[in-house]
Amino acid sequence: MYKVLGVFLSLFLSLSLVFATPKFMDEEYAKQLCELWNKTPELTEGLAKWATKTGEKGYRIIRFYREDCGGPEKAVELHIAPKDGKAVCIYGGKATNEKADFVMSATDKNWKSLAKGEFGFVGMGIMSKMNFKGSKLEAMRNMGPFKTFLTNLNKIPHTMDCP
């Protein structure tokens, strides 16, 4: 009796963990990435000045997606706003219709490589591993925090199933 109960509980817990783990770059993943942003001083403090250039929106948009999983239609994004002298993530989820400040896409192979911190010589390999729309000059000026953003992608537990 106890053996059967133990097997059932193990199976139940295993299945609940599988279903609770977000898919790489799905809406739940973006929400958790937003929460991680706010716990990462290199982003909140390192991009404080960058976050103030919001235009009329009041925040900046970083949009990203997997080229192997539906393309731009499956994009997610983070909204970063200036608050108390910091760059604070106020939204992580499905992409909106608003114009993004940065749009990034890559193959799963390249996202994995970037998330591991495999950037190449002084970070120059980053732009060769992804498609990037937005000010490359602005990204280069903020290379330290930009690298941190990319390595944070690997810190959210996830599956590689397509969203």
> Looking at the predicted structure, is the pLDDT value of residue 111 above 70?
yes
| 20: three-class secondary structure by DSSP | helix
pLDDT at residue 11, as a whole number:
47
pLDDT at 123: 55
**CB contact at 8 A, 154 and 36:** no
- The structure tokens 């941190």 sit at 148
Burial code of 63-102, b = ≥16 C-beta within 10 A, e = fewer?
bbbbbebeeeebbbbbbbbbeeebbbbebbbebeeeebbb
Q: Would you state the pLDDT for residue 31?
A: 98
Average pLDDT across the chain, whole number: 89
The pLDDT score that the predictor gives to residue 121 is: 54
The secondary structure of residue 121, as a DSSP letter, is G
Rg of the chain on CA atoms, in Å: 18
Task: Place 76 in a pLDDT band, splitting at 50, 70 and 90.
Answer: very high
According to the model, what pLDDT value does residue 15 have? 47
Task: Decide if 91 contacts 78 (C-beta within 8 A).
Answer: yes
Residue 10 has pLDDT above 90, yes or no: no
Q: What is the DSSP string of 44-67?
A: HTTTHHHHT--TTTTSEEEEEEET
pLDDT in the model for residue 20: 82
Question: pLDDT (tens digit, 9 = 90+) per residue, 11-43?
Answer: 444 444 445 899 999 999 999 999 999 999 999
Closest CA to 64 of 22, 93, 23, 86: 93
> Domain 23-152 falls in which CATH fold?
Nonspecific Lipid-transfer Protein; Chain A (3.30.1050)
Choose between 41 and 3: higher pLDDT. 41
- Give the pLDDT score at 118: 86
